[in-house]
Structures are given as structure tokens and as C-alpha cells.
Amino acid sequence: MIEKITVPLGNRSYQILIGADILGTLGSQLGEIGFPRRVAVISNDLVSGLYGKAVCDSLLAAGFNPLEINLPDGEQYKNLQTLEQIYDELIRHNFDRGSGLIALGGGVIGDMVGFAAATFLRGVPFVQVPTTLLAQVDSSVGGKTAVNHPLGKNLIGAFYQPKLVLIDVATLNTLELREVNAGLAEVIKYGVIRDQEFFSWLEANASALQNRQFAALITAVKRSCQIKADIVEVDEKEGSIRAFLNFGHTFGHAIESLAGYGEWKHGEAIAVGMIVAAKISASRGLCRSEDVARLTALLKSLELPIELPDYPLEDYVAAMQRDKKVKQGTLTLVLNRGIGSVQLVKVPDISTIFSSILTP
Ligand code: NAD
Ligand code: GLY
């Protein structure tokens, strides 16, 4: 059975298909939406070694003409140089406006392929086939695409929506447990920002998710994607409530940038960032200390880090100042009201608010 969610964006609307062992339906699904027959399946050696054949067999059986392009694996390659490799291959193989791209992999591949699709020949269609939990619940949905610049993460990019997202939770069987846990941090984020009942469900089903029980994974992925779709429908370009999705990200990004990209998994840094945000919320009376304790316990039960790494306050503040979320020196923080709802709070003095949490 395939679960379906629509991201409603007028004539750019698309479906998210979710199921177990559904990779082999990709060709027929793309046929149904009239996707171009000439396609590039863009991945890396690891993911394409695991799933490239199933994807290409399915495409060939449905009459598509796939070219496989493999990029180097890792956040450190999410840059303009790697993007150029994609353009080189597409141009060498005479890809034109009547062709399309397929992103097969985690968030790194998805973000790069999305940006390549947005820019190659001023835009060709693309689809997301996310194979990490983080990509399935977050990065493949909503159309944020980007590459990193040496001075900051995701600084060069575009909003560009895919034509389809196909999520096969069975691909998570080959994912390292640490990556699964990191993806679960983003799933927990959805509970905190939008759905108290879902948060309680996660508390009850944490081990089923870690053990990759498909029914539990499908429930978690579906609810996460629905929440994201609802938010993107209202605010595609992050003028207002899409910022809710950044809960825990201000501190999380600061940790990632101070530790050096790749040291911490994105979801691990977000886990600590969410605790910091919740502590600030508690200090302002927006949530209770019991809410912070619940969040901390759930993250801990998933073996996610809960302690802030020991960098000087000035370094944290400097890292946060460089964040895309800072406008004219003012940071907009996402703070939780209890569990299940959040609000935006403007913070002119990052140093003061953060020092109250860092100092015991
Ligand atoms: P990733 O893409 O680096 O994948 C993690 C590792 O898992 C890689 O080595 C990858 O090759 C491997 N892998 C992927 N699928 C696998 C599978 N099924 N089995 C075994 N190994 C597999 O990391 P990620 O956590 O998926 O994505 C992180 C990226 O996503 C960051 O660059 C972040 O900026 C971006 N992101 C984007 C958005 C967005 O809205 N666009 C949101 C959140 C994060
Ligand atoms: N991951 C945050 C967003 O898509 O807006």
C-alpha cells in the first residue's frame, strides 16, 4: 500500500508517495505524471551500489532512458565544484529541456540535484527519491535546494519544487543507526512545533522506530511530511511560519559550524539545539521545566546528544551572527509553547539570552 500526501502549490503541486519496498514502482509513477523519458539518476557510489539497479530497472521497464551520475559522498562535497560535475555530465550527454533529473540519496544529494535542476538550462524537472530518514522527513519536501560556500552552509541555492517525492522506508534498513537517530531528531521537532499527540506517540514508539519497523516508520514519515506540507502550503519561501521548521536550528547550526562540518550529524546538532531553545522557552515562562525534561528524555532514549559542546560563548555568538536567520543584527528565535506549538521571538542581544543558558 502506498500512502499519498499532496503538497498543494497550485500548478506546482506534487505528491509525496510513502511505503515499504516501493522503489520498483518509480518508473510507473513517473510515467503517470508524464515525466521526461530522458533522465539522469544522480547519486553516489554507496547509495547507487545499493539501490541504483532497482531504480534503473524500474525506469527501463517503464520506457525511460536513464543515465547514472555518481558524485562523491559527503557534506564536504556539497559545493559548486561538485555541481559543475553534474552540469558537465548533462551537457556531455546532450541533456536538453526535455529531460529530467532524479535525486537518489540523502539530503546532500537531494539538495545538490535540486539546485542543479533549478539552474541547468534555467530549469528542468526533477524528482526526489530520499534514502535517509532525514531526507525522507525533511529535505526532500518543500523545495529548498542549495550548496555550501566555504564561509557558510547552504548559502547558494534556490526554492525549486520537485515534481514527485517517492519515499521507500525499506531503504532505511541499510542506513547506519547513527543516521537513523539523527533523522529521528527532525521527526521529534515536528511533534514539538505542531503536534503534541504525535510527540506522545514518538515517546511510545521510539524503539520501534529505532528497530526500523516499517509500520512505525511509515506513520512517522507520513505525519512529518504532512506537517511540513501544511507549512509549505502557507509559506513556501519562509516569509513567516516556515521559520517554525528552524526550531533548534540556530544553536544546531552554530554547533555544526564550530565543530567543522561532518563532525556532528545535522540531526545530532539539532537535538542539542532543541534542548537549548526549550530551556530559553522555559526561562521565559513559555513552557514548563517538565516539557524540557520530556524532550531531553526522548532525545536521550534515541542515543542523541543532549549536552552542549564546550565552546566559548563568544564563539557561539559569532557563529549565530553569521546565520541566515539574522537580519540587521536581530535574530528571530523559534521558541516552544509547551509541546505542540511554537512562536517566533525577535532577539536583539544574542549574547545575553544565550549566556543565561550556558552559565550554570
Ligand atoms: P547525507 O546525504 O550525507 O547522507 C548520510 C550518509 O548516508 C551518506 O554517506 C549517504 O551516502 C548515506 N546513505 C544515504 N542513504 C543511505 C541508505 N539508504 N543506506 C546506507 N547509506 C545511505 O546526509 P542527510 O542527513 O541525509 O542530509 C544532510 C543534508 O541535508 C545537509 O546538507 C543539510 O543541509 C540538508 N538538509 C536540507 C534540508 C532542506 O530543506 N533542503 C533540510 C534539512 C537538511
Ligand atoms: N528544513 C527547513 C525547511 O525546509 O524550511
Q: Which residues line ligand 2 (CB under 6 A)?
A: 138, 142, 144, 242, 245
Mutate to test the pocket of ligand 1, among 7, 21, 134 (most ligand atoms within 8 A of CB): 134
Rounded CA separation 273/188 (Å): 12
pLDDT of residue 329: 72
Q: Say whether both 243 and 187 belong to one domain.
A: yes
Tell me what the mean pLDDT of segment 202-219 comes to.
97
CA dihedral sign of residues 61, 66, 72, 76: negative
Q: Say whether both 170 and 182 belong to one domain.
A: no
Closest of 174, 176, 146, 175 to residue 159, by C-alpha:
146
Among 174, 195, 218, give the residue marking a domain's end. 174
| CATH number of the domain residue 155 falls in | 3.40.50.1970
Domain that holds residue 162: 3-174
Rounded CA separation 16/305 (Å): 31
pLDDT of residue 25: 98
For cell 504532512, the residue is 226
pLDDT of residue 357: 78
> DSSP letter at 174?
G
Rounded CA separation 141/165 (Å): 7
| CATH number of the domain residue 312 falls in | 1.20.1090.10
The answer, yes or no, to whether residue 34 has pLDDT greater than 90, is yes
Rounded CA separation 212/168 (Å): 12
Q: For the chain, what is the total number of helices (H) and then of strands (E)?
A: 14, 12
Tell me what the mean pLDDT of segment 174-178 comes to.
97
pLDDT of residue 359: 63
Tell me what the mean pLDDT of segment 92-117 comes to.
98
The answer, yes or no, to whether residue 120 has pLDDT greater than 90, is yes
Q: Which ligand is nearest to the CA of 240?
A: 2
Q: Torsions phi, psi of 14, nearest 5?
A: -155, 165
The answer, yes or no, to whether residue 324 has pLDDT greater than 70, is no
- What's the domain count of the chain? 2
Q: Say whether both 124 and 244 belong to one domain.
A: no
The answer, yes or no, to whether residue 151 has pLDDT greater than 80, is no
Rounded CA separation 247/276 (Å): 10
pLDDT of residue 331: 86
Q: Say whether both 227 and 260 belong to one domain.
A: yes
Q: Say whether both 224 and 326 belong to one domain.
A: yes
Which ligand 2 atom lies nearest to the CA of residue 144?
4
Q: Which residues are catalytic?
A: 122, 144, 186, 228, 238, 242, 246, 249, 253, 266
Rounded CA separation 128/139 (Å): 9
* Residue 337 CB neighbour total at 10 angstroms: 15
Q: Which ligand is nearest to the CA of 169?
A: 1
Instruction: Write the DSSP string, 220-276.
Output: HHHHHHHHHHHHHHH-TTSSSGGGGGGTTHHHHHHHHHHH-BTTB-HHHHHHHHHHH
Rounded CA separation 335/344 (Å): 6
Tell me what the mean pLDDT of segment 159-169 comes to.
98
The answer, yes or no, to whether residue 325 has pLDDT greater than 80, is no
157-166, 207-216, 256-265: range with lowest mean pLDDT: 256-265
